[in-house]
Chain A
Amino acid sequence: MSVLSVRDLRITYHTTAGGVPAVRGVDLEIDRGEVVGLAGESGCGKSTIAAAILRLLPAKTRIEGEISLNGEDVLEMKPGHLRTVRWTGASIIFQGAMHALNPVKRVGDQIAEAITTHHQAGEREALVRVGQLLEQVGLPPRRIADYPHELSGGQKQRVMIAMALACNPNLIIADEPTTALDVMVQAQVLALLKELQRELGLAMLFITHDLSVLVEVSDRLAIMYAGQIVEDGPAQDVFYRPAHPYTKALAGAFPEIGDQRFRRKPSGLGGDPPDPQRIPSGCPFHPRCPVAFDSCPTVEPRLFASGEGRRAACLLVEGALTGVRKDES
């Protein structure tokens, strides 16, 4: 049963400098209870997808394609209906809870707002439920009366998680939920998310640039570059046996403590992600690719089946599997 189904999503921002294509044809599918990880560097479009699912992008953004949430097309919804679906169908845990919470309102009121907005309870009952939610995420209920600045980074993130659970959504979109935290707290929050997901059978779209975090949490992984998915498949397979050169570089860039392989070969990825308004021709990754060859700047690779439930968008991978190198045609 599909909770989220994205088909050929194309998103172009509107700016004074012209259109900025942030997402250029993305397919994504998340089933009930499944955790899908979405990885990539900053600017690759992953946060854009997260915002698009609940239609939180700026008004003038052009969105094409299909986003289906619990069977309904989000892009076609009337504003009134959209508002009822927000948070009840899917909710978001934003990155940097430092700024995602209103600094002049108590956190309890902010969580309760989600409940009362959807008429799921009156004000007093809502606060009772808020207390329960706080306990669920490991915070003492008295924190209800605190203001955001009175909480630590990790505590604020827990509040965000509690808030995301408030209306019992099917899908939780976690947009870089651990990025701004230090390592120890990161581990705690991750553990919490894993436990909650298991306990409540939630579907999750976990977005981050840190692959090693994803491999712990996700069932499936998708890697994004320059607005497109360049590889996807079962999480363990993609992380430990990457097919696409970019995945290989990303996997190498995040050492896992204790993993022997990382001791001997430190590797990083040079260069910067491309400016969405000046995406390189052919394969967008070719300027930074260590194994790029002559066809790469001219031929755009499509997602090619590269194994059991796996796909990769790379001419080399395609060539190796079909035995045909594109430049030979």
Chain B
Amino acid sequence: MSLDKDQVQHIAKLARLRLADDEFGETVDKLSRIVDFVDQLGQAATDDVVPMAHPLHATQRLRPDQVTETNDRDRVQRNAPSVGDGLYLVPKVIE
């Protein structure tokens, strides 16, 4: 099943990816090929097969409720593109 331009636009929007105009056509084409390829899965007989989310059958380990982290803000914020007063800055959001 191929994808059309609108679908690809919608997906790019959900994924917050800006595609340059010259990239767009190629992306539609390649994504369509990928989707065509994975459509093969439809052939498989999977009634009553439990989906496998993890390859090993194990269960979640629980950690004790203890504070183990100390404040390292200044060091960590050295990687931040834009900070002010200890806050991470983004273009203003109106709710």
Q: Is B a genuine binding partner of A? A: no
Using a CB–CB cutoff of 8 Å, the interface residues on chain B facing chain A are none
The residues of A with any CB-CB pair to B shorter than 8 Å are none
